[in-house]
Amino acid sequence: MSFAHPIVALVVAPVVTALLVLACVLDIARRRRTARSLGDEALMAQMTASLSTGRLVLKSALLVFAVACLLLALGRPQMPGRARLAKSRGLDIVVALDFSKSMLATDVYPSRVERAKRELEKLLDDLQGDRVGLVAFAGEAAAYPLTTDYAAAKLFWKDLSPAQMPVGGTAIGRAINQGVAMLKRVRDISNAHAQVIVLLTDGEDHESDPIAAAKEAAKLGIRVYAVGIGSRSGELVPDPEAAPGAPRYLKDNQGNYVTSKLDEKTLEEIARLTGGEYFRVDPKQFGVERVIEALRKLRRGESTTRLVVEPRELAHVFVFPAFLALIAETLVGDRQRRRPHARVSAEARKP
C-alpha cells in the first residue's frame, strides 16, 4: 500500500493521534482532580460512584481510533490497480544543457551551470505528456533518449558537472545536431506534433558551427528555443581542478585569466533561423517560464501508446471503521447503571 499524500498519512496522522491521546489522558486526570477538590473525599466518591473510568477510556479510545482512520483516509491510500494502454498528447522536446567550464562562472547565482539545472528542473516539472530527451554537451555531446519518465530524466544530469565531461570546450553546433538526430529517430510519418530543442547555454562556441546546425534543424521544422545564461560584460571562469593555494581561475596559454560573457547574438540568430525564440535568464525570473508559454502554443499530437497502471483508491477502508467508531463513541455513556437491588439493600439497612 502507498499513499498519494504520504506527508498526511506518515507525519500528520501520527503526530495528531499522539497529541489526541495525550489530551484524553490529561482530561481524565483533570476530572479526577476536580472531583477530589470539590469536597469530602468519601462523600464525593459516593456521589460519583456511577461514573465509570473504564467507559471514559473506551470513549477516548474510540475517538482516537476514528480520528486516526480519517487522517489515513485523507492521505489517499492506494494499491496498484488495473493496467491499460493509453496515448498521451504532447510535444517531442530535446533539452541541450551546456556543461562547458565557462558555465562554472558565478555571474548568475549560484553558478551558471547550477542555475541551468534549476531552469531545466522547472521545465520538467511543468511538462505533462510531452516526451523529453536530454543532451549534455561541452566539446562533445552525450544523450539521454526521449521519455515521459521525468524523474528518471532528472537523474541524468543531477550530479553531472563540467569536470566530468570527457572533452572540454563548447560545441553548441554538435549539441543541436545531436538533438536533431534524436528527434528524427522518433519522428512519425504524419509529423502530427511539433518537435523542439531547448538550448540552455552561455552561447560561447569555439568548437563547431551552430549556425549551420540551426539551418539543418530549420529544414526539418524543428524549432530551437535558446535560453541565455550569464552576464553580457564577462566573468572570470573558476578552475575546478585548481590545487590548494593555486590560482582559483582558469588561465590561457599566455597566462592571462580566461573570461566568459554571454553571446546573445549567436543565440538570437539560432532562434531566428529555426522559428524559435531567444530568452535571457533573469535573476528574478526563470527563463524557461517564457519557453513554457511558447511551447503551449505549439501543435500537440498523440505520442506512442504506453502502459498506464491506474491506482485503486482505498480510502473507504479507513472511512467506514472511523464512521462506526464515532457512532459507538456517541452511544457509550460515561456512567454505569447501578443495580436496583443495591439500592434496596442499602435502604433495608437503615434503622
Supply the DSSP string of 183-252, one letter for each residue: HHHT--SS--S-EEEEEEE----SSS-HHHHHHHHHHTT-EEEEEE-S-SS-EEPB-TTPPTTS-SB-B-
| Domain containing residue 108: CATH number | 3.40.50.410
- Helix 172-185 × helix 210-219 angle, to 10°: 20
Pair (6, 143) in one structural domain? no
Which among 180, 170, 171, 267 is positioned nearest to 216, based on CA atoms? 180
Q: Is residue 307 part of a domain?
A: no
Pair (194, 275) in one structural domain? yes
Pair (162, 291) in one structural domain? yes
Pair (265, 230) in one structural domain? yes
Pair (327, 201) in one structural domain? no
Pair (297, 181) in one structural domain? yes
Q: Is residue 329 part of a domain?
A: yes
Pair (113, 9) in one structural domain? no
Q: Is residue 271 part of a domain?
A: yes
Pair (173, 269) in one structural domain? yes
Which among 161, 57, 141 is positioned nearest to 101, based on CA atoms? 161
Q: Is residue 116 part of a domain?
A: yes
Pair (173, 67) in one structural domain? no
Per-residue cell: 234: 564577462
| Per-residue pLDDT of the chain in tens (351 residues, 90 and over written 9) | 888 888 888 888 899 889 988 988 888 788 777 766 665 556 555 555 556 677 778 888 888 899 999 988 988 888 887 766 656 667 899 999 999 988 998 888 889 999 989 988 989 988 887 889 999 999 888 899 998 888 888 888 888 888 888 787 789 999 999 999 999 988 865 456 789 999 999 988 877 899 999 999 999 999 999 999 988 888 888 887 776 665 588 888 888 888 888 999 999 999 999 999 999 987 777 788 889 898 888 866 655 555 556 788 888 888 988 889 888 888 887 666 555 544 444 444 445
Pair (213, 284) in one structural domain? yes
* pLDDT value of residue 196: 94
Structural domain span for residue 44 = 2-82+312-348
Q: Is residue 11 part of a domain?
A: yes
Q: Return the CA Rg of the chain.
A: 34
Task: Give the number of domains in the chain.
Answer: 2
* pLDDT value of residue 52: 67
Q: Is residue 148 part of a domain?
A: yes
Whether the pTM exceeds 0.75: the reply is no
Q: Please report which residue ranges of the chain form alpha helices under DSSP H.
A: 6-7, 13-37, 41-47, 53-74, 112-126, 150-158, 172-185, 210-219, 264-274, 287-295, 315-331, 340-348
Q: Is residue 73 part of a domain?
A: yes
* pLDDT value of residue 345: 46
Pair (196, 120) in one structural domain? yes
Q: Is residue 159 part of a domain?
A: yes
Pair (207, 183) in one structural domain? yes
